[in-house]
Amino acid sequence: MGGYPRQNGRACGMKVKGKEKFLGQIAALPQAMKDEILNALQVSAEETNDLQKRFVPKDEGKLERTIGYVVGDKVPEGAAITSAPAKGATDLTVTMYAGDETTIVRNKRGVEFQNALLQEFGRKVKGRIVKNPFFFPGFRLGKKRAKDRLRRAVRNGAKKAFNK
* Residues in a beta bridge with 81: 98
Contact 49, 41 (CB under 8 A): no
Query: At residue 36, does pLDDT exceed 60?
Result: yes
Average of per-residue pLDDT across 90-108:
86
**What stretches of 68-127 adopt beta strand conformation (E)?**
68-71, 81-82, 94-98, 104-106, 112-114, 123-125
Distance of alpha carbon 23 from the chain centroid: 18
- Residue 1 has a pLDDT of 44
The residue that leads in pLDDT, 149 or 5, is 149
Average pLDDT, the chain: 82
Helix (H) or strand (E) holding 117: helix 115-121
The residue that leads in pLDDT, 3 or 148, is 148
Statement: the pTM of the whole predicted model exceeds 0.85: no
Query: At residue 153, does pLDDT exceed 60?
Result: yes
Query: At residue 120, does pLDDT exceed 60?
Result: yes
Query: At residue 105, does pLDDT exceed 80?
Result: yes
Alpha carbons 87 and 27: distance in angstroms, whole number: 12
As a whole-number percent, the residues of the chain with pLDDT over 90 amount to 33
- Residue 108 has a pLDDT of 86
CA R_g for the chain = 18
Q: Which of 63, 139, 60, 131 is nearest to 95 (CA)?
A: 139
pLDDT in tens, 43-97: 999 999 999 999 998 887 889 999 999 988 788 888 888 876 666 656 788 889 9
- Residue 107 has a pLDDT of 84
